[in-house]
Chain A
Amino acid sequence: MRIRDVNKVELVKEKAIELLVKVGFEGFTMGKLAKECGISVATLYIYYKDKDDLILQVGMEETERMGVLMLEDFDPEATFAVGLRQQWKNRAKCMLENPLSVQMIEQLRTSTYQEKIFERLIETFKSTLGRFMHNAVQRGEIEAMPLETYWSVAFAPLYNLIRFHNEGRSLGGKPFVLTDEVLWGTFDLVLKALKK
């Protein structure tokens, strides 16, 4: 009996992410992926039923991996400032170290795969972050507000800085590199905006 070759599966995953970002869902074919990996198409079909199955599996595994990284060392019972700082730290690290995965997940978010892939992840996030926000309100650290408002104020500034960084440019094409100083300076402003 032949066994599943873990290295090969990892290679396929890595190349699939690269190719999806490069050519999109429409342009992505099993043939192109096999060529990128230097393996036969038949090998791909041993691991995956078809193109949809491959995109779903790779998308789900990667989204889950990123989800775990984003909640690492995060305690929903922590004080508001400590908890939010940890989330900024995790998100920044995760997104800066995995720029291709971030792009693929963004593509998935606006695709027909969206529902299947994000269903489970969203539940985990909603319950953990919902509890964190609820605790902060109970302790009188922040005002009660819709989760969407909270999310937008808490994270949109961070995502925008990371977007500038990954594109290497900010407003008007000005070169931009995200430094710790800018990151945590922005964080302090966000904290000020949210805290009572």
Chain B
Amino acid sequence: MELNMNDILLFKTDIRTEGDKRLIAKVMQEYKIANWTVDQDDIDCVLRIVSSQLKLHDVINLVVHNGYQCEELT
């Protein structure tokens, strides 16, 4: 199935360790965000979310609120 590229949201974060990732996993679960990954090999720890409902600022607010940096990856 072809993804709609407008549904792919990309962020620069500091979700760097396994512990960070576990914490974010809980948050994602709580907000029923299923389709997300963090590239912890990357210097920018890129958070990638596929969703047709979420907006960029929703995710930024959510992640920042939980104590991590999060800005749009351009």
Write the residues of chain A forming the contact surface with B, with a CB cutoff of 8 angstroms.
1-4, 29-31, 40-42, 45-46, 49-53
Contact = CB atoms under 8 A, between A and B. Distances in A.
Contacts, number: 50
B41 A50 contact: yes
Interface string B1-13: 0111110101000
A31 B42 CA distance: 8
Nearest to A40: B74
A52 B44 contact: no
Given A4-B3, A49-B48, A53-B37, 20 more contacts: A1-B5, A1-B6, A2-B5, A3-B2, A3-B5, A4-B5, A30-B46, A31-B43, A40-B74, A41-B73, A42-B10, A42-B73, A45-B10, A45-B48, A45-B73, A46-B5, A46-B8, A50-B41, A51-B41, A52-B41
Given A30-B46, A41-B44, A41-B46, A50 B8 contact: no
Interface of B: 2-6, 8, 10, 37-44, 46, 48, 73-74
Contacts of A53: 37
Contacts of A4: 2-3, 5
Given A41-B46, A42-B73, A49 B5 contact: no
Which 8 residue pairs are nearest across A and B when measured between Cβ atoms? Answer: A50-B39, A2-B5, A49-B37, A51-B41, A42-B73, A45-B10, A42-B10, A46-B8
Contacts of A46: 5, 8, 10
